[in-house]
Chains A and B, each alone.
Chain A
Amino acid sequence: MMSDPKIPSGLAAPAAEHALVTRLREGVGDSVLASHAFRGDATAIVPREKLLAVCRFLCDDAELRFDMLVDVTAVDYLGRIPRFEVVYHLYSVPLNHRMRIKVALEEGDARLPSLIPIWAGANWLERETWDLLGIVFEGHPELRRIYLYEEFQGHPLRKDYPKTKRQPLIGPGAPHSANAQGSNR
């Protein structure tokens, strides 16, 4: 599945599975495709179709109780199939443990369900991931850019977006905008 072995996804087969991943497997069965515990970080890779069910379990299970979605981001493994990996970091305030959930996405179909129904805090984090990496979160109430402006072309944290690329300034008075043509400046 992973065409470029120099970049991590499930890393190598885990020597000993993390206890949290074991608990997750007990609850959701074969929804856990792979896992690792590099440097002690419990990590599980789940399929997109099962993401909502897995997260519901992570949030509700008495032994896991992940009540805080700490972070959402995505990694662009350009050249690998599948290209993207969406990464969720979870924390449980009452039980004081962390976990990382990853979902692999194909380049032409970079979409997955929004987690707002489970954690309200997913809202801005998903908007940011859409803005900078172009991942579509289905069911998000207002999936629009959060840092950049709506006219911005492309998603700058993708690896094929050149760092030096410049885009025209927008708004009234900007040299390239329609408003500025024949302006009094």
Chain B
Amino acid sequence: MSHKPEAGAQTTEDVLELPFEPLELKMGPSHPATHGTVQINLKLDGETVQDAEVEVGYLHRGFEKECESHLYYQAFPYTDRLNYVSPIINNVGYALACEKLFGVEVPERCQYLRVIGSEICRMADHYTCLGACAMELGAMSAYLYVIEAREVLWDVIDVMCGARVTSNYVRIGGLSEDVGPDFPALAREKLVQAGTLQQDFEDLLLANPIFRERMEGTGKLASAELVALGVTGPLLRAAGVPYDVRRAQPYLVYDRLDFDVPIGEAGDNMDRFLVRIAELKQSRRMIEQCVEQLPDGPIDIDDPHIRLPGKSKVFGRMEELIVQFKLVTEGPHPPVGEVYQAVEGGNGELGFYLVSDGTGKPYKCRARSPSFSNMQALSRMLQGGMFADVVPTFDMINMIGGECDR
């Protein structure tokens, strides 16, 4: 029996032409694949996404309002909770903005340690993103490997500042504490451990045809449109635009380190995934170089009006005691002015815009978060694609609710 329609006969599609209305589907705010709370209102034509409206804001906690009512140095715990997967990068960005406002630069050892902390956090951020993506596409075991790698890296953060996730490590003009002499050996050892786990992850996943099929060619958006939408970070680099704040406008000691800026070609989800994998290797290279070059010396600037004097001085001398009291109760007083400082966050350009009126509290403290701008592009990435592509595309955006909603 032949299923081919005879010439001139009506095809099945002609006969079954029913009135059509797009199906409206609300995904989230508490959907298993929306790690972080976000709602995507989809309009579906069968399996095809006609339109996607993205609703953010479920995690809005008034970051800016809180910062404006606290002293400059009290903002660090809040910045920790912007991108809570890579807190030290947020700390560093805010501290650099404050230091730019004051017009000071921290000692070399501090700069190196900040880079080490930032890059470890970037690795943790990428591990979380890649692992979650793998898991939500069904590769649960691959997820466990990178999450273990993340745990291993958090051991290094633990040694640096005594906390694993919300580090509160950086201070204006320095760091909360220095590392000991055995730190370089520990960092190297943990990097090797994490590297082995990462290799297992790659072996498990990258050759898998199901995974590849869901990632390749999905979620594409042209680089010109990404730039116009303000998308930065791995998403933009995967589309072939080599914009990385660490390379374009280097801060700390990034200009002394030897590293590449990996870029993709197609700009699809697979490229976004592979760019992050390549960046993990670059971060590891950077940490190894920093550990190698880590100079001796102080970690704090020697200015008691910005950074607290050492405890031995505070408890032994009257002047330092008074200065400490003034600094803690009134905060540091920057000159009147406004600055914008950008750093490369885990997901793109993280910027802080500070306005000072000369008092101990920031008059305005604005965080420009990469997740927010990147999420804006999600709707365009989903339009015209398949319903099943929503999850990998959303995963590659790596929305972090804390910094998206602030």
Assess the A148–B60 pair: CB atoms within 8 A: yes
Given A39-B101, A39-B103, A124-B376, are A119 and B230 also a contact pair (CB < 8 Å)?
Answer: yes
Scan B343-374; emit 1 where CB is below 8 A from any A CB, else 0.
00000010101011110000110101000110
- Residue total for A at the interface (Cβ-Cβ under 8 A): 37
Assess the A147–B353 pair: CB atoms within 8 A: no
Other-chain contact of B368, A8, A38, A70, A123 (Cβ < 8 Å): A70
Residues of B225-256 contacting chain A, CB below 8 A: 225, 227-232, 241, 243, 248-249
Kindly list chain A residues whose C-beta atoms are within 8 Å of the C-beta of B241.
Answer: 93
Which chain A residue shows the least CB distance to B363? A7
User: Is A55 an interface residue when CB atoms closer than 8 A count as contact?
Assistant: no
Kindly list chain B residues whose C-beta atoms are within 8 Å of the C-beta of A148.
Answer: 57, 60
Other-chain contact of A89, B232, B243, B249, B353 (Cβ < 8 Å): B353
Assess the A156–B62 pair: CB atoms within 8 A: yes
User: Is A110 an interface residue when CB atoms closer than 8 A count as contact?
Assistant: no
Assess the A69–B230 pair: CB atoms within 8 A: yes
Which chain A residue shows the least CB distance to B355? A75
Which chain A residue shows the least CB distance to B59? A147
Given A100-B340, A123-B376, A147-B60, are A67 and B353 also a contact pair (CB < 8 Å)?
Answer: no
Assess the A39–B100 pair: CB atoms within 8 A: yes
Bound complex: CA A123 to CA B338 (Å): 24
- Least CB distance, B402 to chain A, in whole angstroms: 13
- Residue total for B at the interface (Cβ-Cβ under 8 A): 44
Assess the A68–B65 pair: CB atoms within 8 A: no
Assess the B64–A157 pair: CB atoms within 8 A: yes
Assess the B57–A67 pair: CB atoms within 8 A: no
- Least CB distance, A77 to chain B, in whole angstroms: 8
User: Is B69 an interface residue when CB atoms closer than 8 A count as contact?
Assistant: yes
Which chain A residue shows the least CB distance to B53? A142
Other-chain contact of A67, B56, B228, B342, B405 (Cβ < 8 Å): B228
Residues of B99-135 contacting chain A, CB below 8 A: 100-101, 103
Bound complex: CA A123 to CA B65 (Å): 22
Which chain B residue shows the least CB distance to A158? B65
User: Is B337 an interface residue when CB atoms closer than 8 A count as contact?
Assistant: yes
Which chain B residue shows the least CB distance to A124? B376
Kindly list chain A residues whose C-beta atoms are within 8 Å of the C-beta of B23.
Answer: none
Bound complex: CA A178 to CA B65 (Å): 30
Assess the B100–A89 pair: CB atoms within 8 A: no
User: Is A184 an interface residue when CB atoms closer than 8 A count as contact?
Assistant: no
Residues of A60-119 contacting chain B, CB below 8 A: 67-71, 73, 75, 87, 89, 91, 93, 96, 98, 100, 119
Kindly list chain B residues whose C-beta atoms are within 8 Å of the C-beta of A70.
Answer: 230, 342, 349, 351, 368
Given A6-B358, A89-B340, A157-B64, are A121 and B228 also a contact pair (CB < 8 Å)?
Answer: yes
Bound complex: CA A114 to CA B69 (Å): 30
Scan B38-63; emit 1 where CB is below 8 A from any A CB, else 0.
00000000000000000011001010
- Least CB distance, B41 to chain A, in whole angstroms: 13
Kindly list chain A residues whose C-beta atoms are within 8 Å of the C-beta of B100.
Answer: 39
Given A67-B227, A70-B349, A157-B64, are A7 and B336 also a contact pair (CB < 8 Å)?
Answer: yes
Other-chain contact of B340, A6, A98, A124, A147 (Cβ < 8 Å): A98
Known: A69-B230, A75-B355, A120-B229. 13 other contacts (CB 8 A): A6-B336, A7-B363, A8-B336, A8-B356, A38-B337, A39-B101, A41-B340, A68-B232, A71-B340, A71-B351, A73-B353, A98-B249, A163-B62
5 A-B pairs closest in CB distance? A121-B230, A147-B57, A147-B60, A71-B368, A121-B229
